[in-house]
Amino acid sequence: MSYLRNCWYMAAWSDEVEAGGMLARRYLDEPVVLFRDSGGKVCAVHDRCPHRFAPLSKGKVENGTIACGYHGLTFDGCGKCVFNPHGKILQSMAVKHYAVAEAYRGIWIWMGEPETANLDFLRDLSFLETAPETAFSKGYLCGHGNYQLFVDNILDLTHVDFLHASTLGSGAFTRTRAKVAETGDRVTILRDCLDEVPSPLMRSIRNITEEDRVDYWNNVEWSPPAVMTLSGGNVPSGADREGPLNNMNTMNAHIVTPETGLTTHYFFATTRDFAVDDAEFNEKFARTRNQIFSTEDEPMIRAQQERMGDKNLWELQPLLLRIDEGSVRVRRKLEKMIEAENSTRS
């Protein structure tokens, strides 16, 4: 499968890689091991010793270097061999390394050539970094399904009216036509739901009933290859959206990284501007969200991928609806970027 390589993919949450430890994962079909050097900087190298091809992740991290557990060859964060217990260190004793950045509580990896890595391409997610702990939660799951299916899932939120009817759905997203726009490398999808039925979760938080009406809005912004922010808010119908006593805003990040052509690393996080000091509410909110993703979204995408088999979306000639406009634009945009990148490489 062809991927966009000269870009930043999320590799892990920062707290997943501790000093002296390591994290082995596969990105874009390549095995990678993450660890921290002696200064605490995250490093990423190909998870295969060049000697007998044992996974370096089966070894150990000592003094900021990683030693193969099979024959003891040791490598630094740039992939250079720094210790050979069997003789001299030769120039050929090296392992591929990747450029890494740590920002917004996460670790990001550049899967193209390290010297081409550009921090300007890293999506600004500073709202994750500035959020207080009592109003911030994050999660991760490794899901079965091509990463673009996970992207489609966020870009078309009409699915919440059906798949998440007991929590997030009320029919409002289906009744409200989305406005789709492109600006530079971004695609945005805005829904403005007026005088609508509140969702079950909204009713619970606001302590209102199904007979009450609300105005609420939702804005998804995608940037390549697969970073999405989802912002939304709600007020009683007709109320001032800027009123501090009425408005309830949430800001979410949905970030997906291909593991293989059929499996995906899915990172998600949420913060909000209400009940910011309520740790108990924060935990309950996070628990509900994690349950929705793990017991409803992921199983549906898994089943979808199983029905698709090893064919991509266009091979199966999908029946496209008006609600697919955003996801189709993103797929076409990404395809052009991958094609352009491949043409310059060849």
Nearest CA to 2 out of 264, 334, 305, 313 is that of 334
Q: Are strands 8-13 and 106-110 parallel, antiparallel or unpaired?
A: antiparallel
Provide the domain limits for residue 225: 132-343
**In this structure, are 137 and 244 located in the same domain?**
yes
Domain count within the chain = 2
**In this structure, are 58 and 166 located in the same domain?**
no
Neighbouring residues of 305: CB distance < 8 A, sequence distance ≥ 6: 144, 145, 146, 149, 262
Which of 68, 99, 121 is where one domain is finished? Answer: 121
Q: Can you give the CATH number for the domain in which 330 is found? A: 3.90.380.10
Question: How far is it, in rounded angstroms, from Cα 271 to Cα 253?
Answer: 9
**In this structure, are 60 and 87 located in the same domain?**
yes
Amino acid symbol at 139: G
pLDDT score recorded for residue 246: 67
Question: How far is it, in rounded angstroms, from Cα 110 to Cα 48?
Answer: 18
**In this structure, are 108 and 136 located in the same domain?**
no
Count the Cβ atoms, other than its own, within 10 Å of residue 313. 16
Strand partners, 223: 227
Question: How far is it, in rounded angstroms, from Cα 137 to Cα 346?
Answer: 43
**In this structure, are 139 and 49 located in the same domain?**
no
| Strand spans (E) along the chain | 8-13, 22-27, 30-36, 42-46, 60-62, 65-67, 74-75, 81-83, 97-103, 106-110, 136-144, 179-183, 186-196, 214-223, 227-236, 248-258, 263-272
Amino acid symbol at 66: I
**In this structure, are 116 and 142 located in the same domain?**
no
End-to-end CA distance of the chain: 16
- For residue 25, being part of any structural domain is answered with yes
**In this structure, are 231 and 152 located in the same domain?**
yes
pLDDT score recorded for residue 261: 97
Phi, psi at 50, each rounded to 5°? -70, -10
- Residue 25 near residue 40 (C-beta atoms within 8 A): no
pLDDT score recorded for residue 245: 59
- Residue 253 near residue 239 (C-beta atoms within 8 A): no
**In this structure, are 94 and 148 located in the same domain?**
no
Residues in the chain: 346
pTM value > 0.85? yes
Nearest CA to 10 out of 80, 219, 23, 63 is that of 23
**How do the pLDDT tens digits run along the chain, 346 residues long?**
899 999 999 999 999 999 999 999 999 999 999 999 999 999 999 999 999 999 999 999 999 999 999 999 999 999 999 999 999 999 889 999 999 999 999 999 999 999 999 999 999 999 999 999 999 999 999 999 999 999 999 999 999 999 999 999 999 999 999 999 999 999 999 999 999 999 999 999 989 999 999 999 999 999 999 999 999 999 999 988 876 656 789 999 999 999 999 999 999 999 999 999 999 999 999 999 999 999 999 999 999 999 999 999 999 999 999 999 999 999 999 999 999 999 887 6
Q: Give me the sheet containing 42-46, strands edge to edge.
A: 8-13, 106-110, 97-103, 42-46, 30-36, 22-27
- For residue 24, being part of any structural domain is answered with yes
Question: How far is it, in rounded angstroms, from Cα 334 to Cα 330?
Answer: 6
- For residue 184, being part of any structural domain is answered with yes
Question: How far is it, in rounded angstroms, from Cα 93 to Cα 311?
Answer: 39
Three-class secondary structure of residue 101 per DSSP:
strand
**In this structure, are 216 and 102 located in the same domain?**
no
**In this structure, are 306 and 167 located in the same domain?**
yes
Q: Can you give the CATH number for the domain in which 36 is found? A: 2.102.10.10
**In this structure, are 193 and 318 located in the same domain?**
yes
Which of 101, 121, 141 is where one domain is finished? Answer: 121
- For residue 138, being part of any structural domain is answered with yes
pLDDT score recorded for residue 132: 95
- For residue 1, being part of any structural domain is answered with no
Pair of tokens at residue 197:
């039925």
- For residue 127, being part of any structural domain is answered with no
- Residue 144 near residue 298 (C-beta atoms within 8 A): yes
- For residue 251, being part of any structural domain is answered with yes
**In this structure, are 96 and 146 located in the same domain?**
no
pLDDT score recorded for residue 345: 74
- Residue 9 near residue 257 (C-beta atoms within 8 A): yes
Which of 121, 153, 173 is where one domain is finished? Answer: 121
- Give, in order, the Cα–Cα distances in Å from 41 to each of 20, 37, 85, 107: 11, 5, 26, 10
- For residue 317, being part of any structural domain is answered with yes
Question: How far is it, in rounded angstroms, from Cα 47 to Cα 68?
Answer: 10
